[in-house]
Chain A
Amino acid sequence: MSSIAQKKGFGATIWDFMTTVDHKKIAILYLISGGFFFLVGGIEAMLIRIQLAKAGNDFLSAGLYNEIITMHGTTMIFLASMPLLLAFMNAIMPLQIGARDVAFPFLNSLGFWLFFFGGIFLNLSWFMGGAPDAGWTNYASLALASEGHGIDFYTLGLTISGFGTLIAGINFLVTIINMRAPGMTYMRMPLFTWTTFVASALILLAFPPLTVGLFFMIFDRLFNSSFFVVEMGGNTIIWEHLFWIFGHPEVYILILPAFGIFSEIFAIFSRKRLFGYTALVFATILIGFYGFMVWAHHMFTVGLGPTANAVFALATMIIAVPTGIKIFNWLLTIWGGSISFTVPMIYAVAFIPSFVAGGVTGVMQAIAPLDYQLHDSYFIVAHFHYVIVGGVVLGILAGTHLYWPKMFGTMLSEKLGKWTFWFFFIGFHLTFFIQHFLGLMGMPRRVYTFGADQGWDLFNAISSAGAVFMAIGVIILLVNVVMTTIKNERVGNDPWGDGRTLEWAIPSPPPFYNFAQTPLVRGLDTFWIEKMDGNKKGMIFAEPLGDIHMPNNSIIPFVISLGMFIASFGALYFLDGDKPWALAVLIIGLLITFGSMLVRSLKDDLGFYITKEELLEDAKGGKTDGH
Chain B
Amino acid sequence: MMATLLVFLAGCGREEISTLIPAGEVAQDQFNLLILSSIIMLFVIIVVSIIFVLAIVKFRRSKMGEDMIPEQVEGSARLEFLWTAVPIVLLLILAVPTVYSTFDLADVSTMDVQAEDGTSSNLTVNVTAKLYWWEFEYPEQGIVTSQELVVPTDERVYFNLISADIKHSFWIPSIGGKLDVNPENVNTFYLTFDQQSSELEDGVFYGKCAELCGPSHALMDFKVKSVDREEFDQWVTAMQSEEPAAVEGDLALQGEELFGADGLSCIACHATSGVGEGNIMQGPNMATFGDRNRVAGYLEHNEENLKNWIADPQEYKPGNLMPAAASLNNGEELTEQELDALAAYLMGLTVEE
Residue numbers of A with Cβ under 8 A of B are 61-63, 66, 133-135, 139, 141-142, 145, 230, 235-237, 270-273, 275-279, 301-303, 305-306, 309-310, 313-314, 317-318, 320-321, 324-325, 327-329, 331-332, 334-341, 349, 352-353, 356-357, 360-361, 363-364, 366-373, 375-377, 437, 440-442, 444-451, 453-456, 532
Q: Does B270 contact A (CB under 8 A)?
A: no
B70 and A338 contact, CB distance less than 8 A: yes
Chain A residues whose CB sits within 8 angstroms of the CB of B17 once the complex forms? 441-442, 454-455
Q: Does B143 contact A (CB under 8 A)?
A: no
Residue of B nearest to A352 (CB): B52
Q: Which of A272, A338, A372 contacts B177 (CB 8 A)?
A: A372
Q: Does B99 contact A (CB under 8 A)?
A: yes
Can you name 21 A-B residue pairings with CB atoms under 8 Å?
A: A66-B214, A133-B215, A139-B167, A230-B183, A236-B182, A276-B80, A303-B179, A310-B102, A325-B84, A334-B56, A336-B71, A356-B44, A372-B178, A373-B177, A376-B169, A440-B13, A441-B18, A442-B19, A448-B218, A454-B13, A455-B17
Q: A358 to nearest B CB, angstroms?
A: 11
A557 to B223, CA, bound (A): 57
B318 and A61 contact, CB distance less than 8 A: yes
A356 and B48 contact, CB distance less than 8 A: yes
B183 and A321 contact, CB distance less than 8 A: no
CB within 8 Å for A66 and B215 given contacts A145-B166, A317-B95, A367-B33: yes
A270 to B70, CA, bound (A): 8
CB within 8 Å for A270 and B59 given contacts A337-B70, A368-B98: yes
A569 to B49, CA, bound (A): 53
Q: Which of B20, B60, B165, B213 contacts A339 (CB 8 A)?
A: B60
A352 and B48 contact, CB distance less than 8 A: yes
CB within 8 Å for A364 and B38 given contacts A235-B184, A336-B73, A369-B102: yes
- Which range contains the number of B residues in contact with the other chain? 35 or more
Quick one: which of B65-120 are within 8 Å of A by CB? Answer: 65, 68-76, 79-80, 83-84, 87-88, 91, 94-95, 97-99, 101-107
Q: Kindly list 15 other residue pairs between chains A and B, CB separation below 8 angstroms, not including A336-B59, A440-B19.
A: A61-B215, A142-B166, A145-B166, A271-B69, A276-B76, A301-B179, A328-B51, A332-B76, A339-B56, A353-B45, A357-B45, A373-B30, A375-B210, A440-B9, A442-B18
Quick one: which of B23-57 are within 8 Å of A by CB? Answer: 27, 29-30, 33-34, 37-38, 41, 44-45, 48-49, 51-52, 54-56
Q: Does B185 contact A (CB under 8 A)?
A: yes
Give a binary string over B257-291; 1 marks a CB under 8 Å from any A CB, 0 the rest: 00000000000000000000000000000000000
Q: B55 to nearest A CB, angstroms?
A: 5
Chain B residues whose CB sits within 8 angstroms of the CB of A61 once the complex forms? 215, 318
CB within 8 Å for A360 and B208 given contacts A369-B102, A440-B18: no
Q: Does B309 contact A (CB under 8 A)?
A: no
Q: A401 to nearest B CB, angstroms?
A: 18
Chain A residues whose CB sits within 8 angstroms of the CB of B29 once the complex forms? 369
A328 and B83 contact, CB distance less than 8 A: yes
Q: B128 to nearest A CB, angstroms?
A: 14
Q: Which of B59, B80, B101, B106 contacts A337 (CB 8 A)?
A: B59
Chain A residues whose CB sits within 8 angstroms of the CB of B218 once the complex forms? 62, 444, 446-450
A142 to B104, CA, bound (A): 31
